Amino acid sequence: MSDSDDSDDSRIEQPRVSSVCRSVSINGNDHSREIVFDDEDVLGFTTDGENNRRTPERKVSTYMDRVELEKKHYDMINERIVDDVTMDQFYKPHSITVLVLVIACLLYKAAFGQSDNSTGKNFYDGFLGACALFLLISALTFPNGPFIRPHPILWRVIFGLSVIYVIILQFALFQNYEDLKEILTWLDPEGLGQESLEEKEYASDCWNLSFDKIWSHVDFFAFSHFAGWIMKTLLLRHWVLCWFISIIWEFTELMFIDLLPNFAECWWDSLILDVLLCNGVGIFIGMKLCNFLQMRQFHWESIKNIKSRRGKMKRFALQFTPASWSGYDWFQSKPFSIALRRTFLLTFLVTFWLLAELNTFFIKHIFAIDTQHPVVFWRIILIAVIAAPTIRQFYIYSTDPLTRRVGMQSWVFVVVCVLELAICVKCGGEVFAKTVLWKLALWVASIVIGTIFCILASTWYAEKFGETARVLVKGRRRLCYLESSHENLGILQDDVIKKREEYLSPKKN
């Protein structure tokens, strides 16, 4: 956002930032401002990574100190620590107990397992057993990721599921279409063994605007659009970005009609039913839920400190709500280099978001899988649960100047999207041979131009109607949007400062 010099006062004044949504005071003893390396690495003060003047006595010049601080920022998104343990029995390590149970299960399987099963049955059971053991190991050893509710073990298992899915996709990439189709037919001869699908026609007789015609288009996909956009809004938490992706997806369908004929639909189905009604209402409800979760104050005291039984049950129910909730502002950034970097990263996010959705239709079309088959449903659920920590990690990587590495869940998500596309291209050569290059180029250009327009629109809206304030920072007046700050992210606000205090305490002694 823009800033201007409204004061020539050279005296350094300790600022107090206030806003409609929260108040942040910065005092001279704040450890979060004691490590300053670079103009882009100043912590505190601004909300968008702006530069501040440095004082020689507060510099840390060694390279190892810088690496250590960057590592602590990275740990906050890749290995978040549970500081407030509310139920000791659920957070104590039980590796020995688990090991004993695993040994018992293995011995039981070796002694009493059936040995007269068919080869296919043995392969299937062996694969499930390997996945179960891998998920158990992931629950014990994988990083927590950025979330800790309802329990870190859940997010470790989700990370383990994403790794298993990546391995399966990597294996599938080395097979041809006939081999993959044979495997799918073996798994489900009726549901996955079809060679072609009879899909519903959505683009016939478009100017017949009778009630029966319109009502016939309100099917399972209409509900999936509505419910899906509630979930997507909870993930993205920015209404401008949600509306942009909703509109650009309809444009994506138009550009890929040659490859996916099922994308053809009437104009009123695309613009009114999809964008305005299903997607629009879903975005509206999703943003209302975001505001509710952001404004609601949870009391996370320990269960052992609560006396009443009703209070204990209420606290247990709150375990399944977020430990902290913060709004995402993807667009506010200064100076130009940081703004350019965030623009590129946001374009990257939108592109892979669309790619993940496109892969759903490519897989369904190329391998002739019906939309209502459980494989399609559970793949969408898997992508959704992977996307939650992925977007959190990617957002912090985009906004925090001291987070120089993307989180592992984000890394795996990108690999998943690329592998799915690679399999579709390899097995669906006839489909992708119909690609019209100028449409593909227009689609890519629309993503880039639309992202830039989103940034401009979001910045203008934040300045005119958002929760912004002019703050005196080091003798200069700056217009700040608080939710853009890496210090105001719920995940970093307390954890990073606490880690910095631990990091600085040996040096101060």
pLDDT at 318: 46
The ranges of the chain with pLDDT < 70 are: 1-94, 111, 115, 145, 148-150, 219, 294-337, 465-509
Residue 33 has what pLDDT? 34
Show me where the domains of the chain are located. Answer: 175-202+218-296+329-468
- For residues 331 and 41, is the Cβ–Cβ distance under 8 A? no
How many angstroms separate the CA atoms of 402 and 396, rounded? 10
pLDDT of residue 490: 38
Helix or strand holding residue 478 (H, E): strand 476-481
Report the run of H or E that residue 468 belongs to, with start and end: strand 468-473
* Global confidence as pTM: 0.70
**What is the model's pLDDT at position 143?**
78
Are the C-beta atoms of residues 366 and 465 closer than 8 Å to each other?
Answer: no
The strand pairing partners of 79, in sequence order, are: 145
User: Could you tell me the sign of the dihedral formed by the alpha carbons of 343, 349, 353, 354, in that order?
Assistant: positive
The string of DSSP letters for 252-297 reads HHHHTTTT-GGG-B-HHIIIIIIIIIIIHHHHHHHHHHHHHHHHPP
pLDDT given for residue 57 in this prediction: 46
